[in-house]
């Protein structure tokens, strides 16, 4: 297959645009904002071009088939190449990254007033690193982008974060985030290097980080060693997801981060961990993953209830939303380890819908803080009588987050539970019960912010302006996306179907066989027809 130059362009454009933002900051403080906006708009446009040009509806295979690839030598002595590839799974994740990148630039337009160029350098470089994670299939290159996307986010929190929220400093939150992610990166590196060493031993002298080579190597590793390497990679991804009890960095990082940083963290960054589990852990170690599935799902279920309970107890709006992300990621774990095609497809819809709904709610946190100078829910009562547009959007996105039918989150959760029930009925029923708790913290959030008696100190801040055109436009993008996902999910299900199918064929136990896979595909077709 010929090299497709759109793939490296998707990564290079955010990096180049970010560098120009920093370089031209002294010329005009507004120029970096427009450069960043243009850079992410071009990235999104190229993603749509890639969608139109590629064939993502190829026949179902038992091996990965990529619609476009780009490969050039890099460090040949160590078997490292710049190998980028895209299929339906990675294309949807890249598209989500580009779209939320546009929204992150837009929501920081009025919030960031100091070091504007350097801010957009860090924001766009983190987005470029995330896109690299979704496209790289050489594992050294993947790890390179995995680590590189974290440093800019550290600076976003440490330099532009909110000081003193919840008694913690922004530097404390940034350092905690960095330590957590660096430790998990080290454990992930151990798993990757272990695979490479086994490849060297089994091939008698060949050193390679190639995706297909290491996938074949992983099938020949003795089961105890395979289980150990699987655990290393799982932990590396689990911290970033995050899975209980490895979630400690997330609430503080969200509470102190600027609005664009929270959009990046909740909408995009934690999706890289789910992607890593789907792209590497399940295909490389299917047998070990099946042995570990019960443990992983139990931790996921604990996270669902723990996150919902902690969200219910929060008085800070951002920390409440951070804990809802922990709760929702439990459904991601259930979907991944259920091994059912319908659950995998539901996971795809859920990642897209959660990215849009959580990003929109964090943007609204920033908009409310800009007007009231507080995120304390106890001081927000009565906003429904003061902000007409804020009230509508907040109720809409909370409804989306808790899974109201007709919106994308409901489709994702429904498909996940429907598919997981085939293999884990007890776990699925327990997970379904948690939806009641999601409605509870959603209602608490709505009641405390929009209704009740306004706080006298906050109400003195004049004038209290409603959303402007820029803010409404940003939120309407998320509204349209969630409605589209809720009413027309088949367009995305078709795009990711082949990618999810081959992952399912590697993961499913032998006793289920091809009939089980075909049954799942038939059910998906019937759902699409309905």
Q: Give the pLDDT confidence score for residue 422 in this predicted structure.
A: 86
| Average pLDDT value for residue range 233-250 | 88
Would you say 314 and 376 are in contact if contact means Cβ atoms under 8 Å apart? Answer: no
Distance CA 385, CA 453 (A): 10
**At a CB cut-off of 8 Å and minimum separation 6, what does 45 contact?**
none
Dihedral of the alpha carbons of 318, 319, 320, 326, in degrees to the nearest 10: 120
pLDDT confidence bin for 112, thresholds 50/70/90: confident
Q: How many angstroms separate the CA atoms of 401 and 356, rounded? A: 9
Q: What mean pLDDT do residues 24-46 have?
A: 90
| Any domain includes 378 | yes
Q: What pLDDT digit, counting tens, does each position of 116-168 carry? A: 889 999 999 999 999 999 999 999 999 999 999 889 999 999 888 876 555 56
Domain span including residue 332: 286-530
Kind of pairing between the strands at 68-75 and 80-86: antiparallel
Nearest to 504 by CA among 341, 346, 280: 341
More confident residue, 241 or 99: 99
**Backbone torsion region of residue 86, taken as left when φ is above 0, otherwise alpha when ψ lies between -120 and 50, otherwise beta:** beta
- Return the higher-pLDDT residue of 205 and 233: 233
The domain tally of the chain equals 1
C-beta separation of 408 from 485 below 8 A: yes
Question: Would you say residue 485 lies in a domain?
Answer: yes
The predicted model gives 79-98 an average pLDDT of 92
Please report the beta strands in 463-505, taking only residues with DSSP state E, as ranges in sequence order.
Answer: none
pLDDT in tens, 394-441: 999 999 988 889 899 999 999 999 999 988 899 999 998 888 888 888
> Which of 56, 57, 50, 52 shows the shortest CA–CA distance to 94?
50
* Mean per-residue pLDDT of the chain: 86
- What pLDDT was estimated at residue 293? 92
Residues in contact with 258: Cβ distance below 8 Å, sequence separation at least 6, in sequence order:
108, 111, 112, 156, 157, 160, 161, 162, 366
**Average pLDDT of 254-265?**
87
pLDDT band at residue 444 using 50, 70 and 90 as cut-offs: confident
The answer to the question of residue 207 being in a domain is no
Predicted confidence at residue 515, as pLDDT, reads 46
- Looking at residue 449, its pLDDT comes to 84
Residue 56 domain-assigned (yes or no): no
In this structure, is residue 501 part of a structural domain? yes
Q: Is the dihedral of CA 403, 352, 106, 252 positive or negative?
A: positive
The whole-number pLDDT of residue 511 equals 38
Residue 394 inside a domain? The answer is yes
Confidence of residue 253 (pLDDT cuts 50, 70, 90): confident
The answer to whether residue 242 is domain-embedded is no
The three-class DSSP label of residue 511 is coil
| pLDDT reported for residue 370 | 84
Q: What is the pLDDT of residue 463?
A: 58
Q: Is the pLDDT of residue 485 over 90?
A: yes
Confidence at 105, pLDDT banded by 50, 70, 90: very high
**Residue from 336, 202, 222, 195 nearest 271 by CA:** 336
Q: Residue 271: count other Cβ atoms within 10 Å of its Cβ.
A: 26
272 located within any domain? no
Residue 83 has pLDDT above 60, yes or no: yes
Percent of residues, the chain, with pLDDT higher than 90: 44
Burial class (CB within 10 angstroms; exposed 0-12, middle 13-18, buried 19+) of 1: exposed
pLDDT in tens, 340-366: 889 999 999 999 999 999 999 999 998
Of 405, 324, 308, 317, nearest to 358 (Cα)?
324
Q: Note the pLDDT of residue 63.
A: 67
Confidence of residue 512 (pLDDT cuts 50, 70, 90): very low
Name residues whose C-beta falls within 8 Å of residue 522's C-beta, 6 or more positions apart in sequence.
Answer: none
Percent of the chain with pLDDT over 70: 90
The predicted model gives 456-474 an average pLDDT of 72
pTM: predicted TM-score of the whole model, two decimal places: 0.90
525 pLDDT above the threshold of 60 = no
pLDDT at 164: 57
């Amino acid at each position: 297959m010929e090299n497709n130059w759109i793939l490296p362009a998707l990564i290079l454009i955010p990096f180049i645009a970010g560098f120009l933002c920093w370089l031209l900051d002294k010329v005009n403080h507004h120029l970096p904002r427009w450069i960043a906006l243009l850079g992410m708009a071009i990235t999104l446009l190229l993603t749509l071009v890639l969608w139109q040009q590629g064939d993502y509806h190829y026949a179902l295979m038992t091996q990965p088939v990529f619609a476009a690839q780009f490969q050039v030598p890099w460090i040949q002595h160590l078997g490292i190449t710049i190998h980028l590839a895209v299929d339906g799974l990675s294309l949807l994740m890249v598209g989500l990254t580009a779209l939320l990148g546009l929204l992150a630039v837009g929501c920081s337009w009025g919030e960031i007033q100091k070091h504007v160029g350097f801010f957009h350098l860090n924001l766009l470089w983190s987005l470029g690193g995330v896109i690299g994670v979704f496209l790289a299939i050489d594992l050294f290159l993947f790890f390179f982008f995995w680590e590189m996307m974290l440093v800019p986010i550290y600076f976003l929190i440490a330099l532009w974060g909110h000081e003193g929220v919840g008694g913690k400093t922004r530097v404390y939150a940034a350092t905690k985030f960095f330590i957590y992610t660096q430790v998990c990166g080290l454990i992930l590196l151990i798993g990757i290097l272990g695979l490479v060493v086994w490849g060297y031993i089994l091939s008698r002298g060949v050193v390679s980080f190639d995706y297909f080579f290491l996938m074949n190597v992983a099938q020949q590793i003795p089961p105890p060693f395979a289980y150990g390497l699987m655990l290393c990679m799982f932990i590396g991804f689990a911290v970033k997801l995050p899975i209980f009890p490895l979630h400690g960095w997330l609430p503080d990082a969200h509470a102190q981060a600027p609005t664009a940083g929270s959009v990046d963290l909740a909408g995009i960054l934690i999706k890289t961990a789910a992607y890593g589990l789907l792209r590497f852990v399940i295909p490389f170690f299917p047998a070990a993953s099946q042995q570990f599935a019960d443990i992983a799902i139990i931790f996921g279920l604990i996270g669902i209830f723990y996150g919902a309970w902690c969200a219910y107890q929060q008085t800070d709006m951002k920390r409440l939303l951070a804990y809802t992300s922990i709760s929702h990621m439990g459904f991601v774990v259930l979907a991944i380890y259920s091994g059912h095609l319908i659950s995998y497809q539901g996971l795809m819809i859920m990642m897209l819908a959660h990215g849009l709904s959580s990003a929109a709610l964090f943007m609204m946190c920033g908009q409310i803080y800009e007007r009231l100078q507080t995120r304390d829910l106890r001081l927000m009562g009565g906003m429904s009588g003061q902000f007409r547009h804020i009230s509508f959007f907040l109720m809409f996105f909370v409804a989306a987050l808790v899974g109201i039918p007709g919106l994308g989150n409901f489709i994702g959760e429904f498909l996940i539970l429907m598919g997981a029930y085939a293999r884990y009925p007890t776990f699925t029923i327990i997970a379904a019960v948690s939806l009641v708790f999601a409605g509870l913290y959603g209602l608490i959030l709505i009641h405390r912010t929009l209704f009740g008696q306004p706080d006298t100190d906050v109400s003195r801040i004049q004038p209290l302006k409603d959303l402007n055109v820029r803010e409404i436009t940003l939120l309407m993008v998320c509204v349209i996306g969630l409605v589209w996902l809720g009413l027309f999910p088949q367009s995305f299900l078709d795009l990711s179907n082949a990618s999810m199918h081959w992952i399912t064929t590697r993961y499913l136990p032998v006793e289920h066989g091809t009939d089980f896979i075909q049954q799942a595909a038939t059910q998906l077709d019937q759902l699409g027809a309905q």
